Amino acid sequence: MAGGKFRLWLLLVGAVLVVTAVAGVGGERAAVPALFVFGDSLIDNGNNNNLASLAKANYFPYGIDFADGPTGRFCNGYTIVDELAELLGLPLVPSYSQASTVQEVLQGVNYASAAAGILDDSGGNFVGRIPFNEQISNFESTVSQIAGAIGAAAASRHLAQSIVFVGMGSNDYLNNYLMPNYDTRRRYTPQQFADLLVRQYAGQLARLYRAGARKFVVAGVGAMGCIPSVLAQSVTGQCSPEVDDLVLPFNANLRAMLDGLGAGGLPGARFTYLDNFRVFRAILGNPAAFGFAVVDRGCCGIGRNGGQITCLPFMPPCADRDRYVFWDAYHPTAAVNVIIARQAFHGAADVVAPVNVRQLATL
């Protein structure tokens, strides 16, 4: 095939693929072409399944309320990004480990990995995991795959219109700074550690930008002082203000950094900050208003507060899962995830700023 005809054929094939991708669920037009996801176990959907890792959730009762059963999601049903994908009119985003066809990756990929951190060594106690730096490398491979299918210019437009969701940082605290076998806490004050993390994070977001990302939703670290694993460390089952106070400097630094990048640090990029901490504290402060009755134990777990040993294979979970805030020792239930996602999509500036996800999609 002559060069000119081949280029024309490539463009036609690319156009068909892009139009099909943007069609969304049920043939209706999606709000954005794709959703690309980076993070940890809060939004992992199976990337750790085939790793030599202690951080896995591809067994029952995980996924008990999910249509496909246990997939590697660390809850009973939907994660935050599952609900966000639906709100955007997209199909559920496949994990990087399972996405194979160009058609699949055109509508987004989930690169998140349980135990992953901003720092490469965070989560090392769980052995296998995919740190944020490696997740970005996987995204760069996906970008090359898309460009090879639809052409570089079309790929650039496609990525610029898509949404990138990033939720990192929890493991840098729970499975690094707070771990006795790490020397991080002896080397850094909480503020120094927050400064270190956000400097690294800024470079990583810039790397995503250089790969073509333009619309970012970046979640802060949520309130962790009341998760069952922390409650279980207190004989009285009390929350730990000290743990919550640790992450506040990080969230403050992160928001300031995103404001700087959005104000011209990365031209053409738009950054939205999701205040997970505020949403979670609101739920814990008035659980009945959100439909919850149990806030002090995991639905599936062993020991004090259901948090001393997390959910084990084939362990019977609680029956009324929609009434529980926590699914296991570390993670919220699907009911909480859906609330957070809807706040991200529709919420006001006290939760998601400067615009919510619905508004970001239209920009």
pLDDT digits (tens, 9 = 90+) for 140-163: 999 999 999 999 999 999 999 999
Reply yes or no on whether 158 is catalytic: no
Residue 1 lies in a domain: no
Annotated catalytic residue within 40, 41, 95, 158: 41
Q: How many separate domains does the chain show?
A: 1
The pLDDT, as a whole number, for residue 1 is 47
> Which residues have a Cβ under 8 Å from the Cβ of 129 and sit 6 or more positions away?
48, 51, 53, 55, 113, 114, 115, 116, 123
Q: What is the CATH number of the domain that holds 161?
A: 3.40.50.1110
- pTM, two decimals, is 0.94
Residue 161 lies in a domain: yes
Who wins on pLDDT, 225 or 16?
225
pLDDT tens per residue across span 247-267: 999 999 999 999 999 998 999
**16-20, 25-29, 267-271, range with the lowest pLDDT:** 16-20
Q: What is the mean pLDDT of the chain?
A: 94
Reply yes or no on whether 328 is catalytic: yes
Residue 14 lies in a domain: no
Domain of residue 339 covers 35-362
The pLDDT, as a whole number, for residue 6 is 40
With cut-offs at 50, 70 and 90, classify the pLDDT of residue 183: very high
> What mean pLDDT comes out for the span 283-305?
97
Residue 52 lies in a domain: yes
Residue 27 lies in a domain: no
Q: Taking Cα atoms as reference points, which of 203, 155, 165 lies closest to residue 37? A: 165
Annotated catalytic residue within 97, 259, 331, 350: 331
With cut-offs at 50, 70 and 90, classify the pLDDT of residue 13: very low
Residue 21 lies in a domain: no
Residue 7 lies in a domain: no
Tell me which amino acid residue 193 is. F
pLDDT tens per residue across span 108-145: 999 999 999 999 999 999 999 999 999 999 999 999 99
pLDDT tens per residue across span 201-235: 999 999 999 999 999 999 999 999 999 999 999 98
Q: Which residues pair with 254 in a beta bridge?
A: none
Long-range pairs for 130-138: beta carbons < 8 A, 24 or more residues apart? 130/47, 130/48, 130/51, 132/38, 132/168, 132/204, 133/204, 135/38, 135/96, 135/111, 136/38, 136/111, 136/204, 136/207, 136/208, 136/211, 138/96, 138/109, 138/111
The pLDDT, as a whole number, for residue 329 is 97
Beta carbons of 119 and 201 less than 8 angstroms apart: no
> What mean pLDDT comes out for the span 170-194?
98
Residue 316 lies in a domain: yes
Reply yes or no on whether 331 is catalytic: yes
In the predicted structure, residue 335 carries a pLDDT above the cut 60:
yes
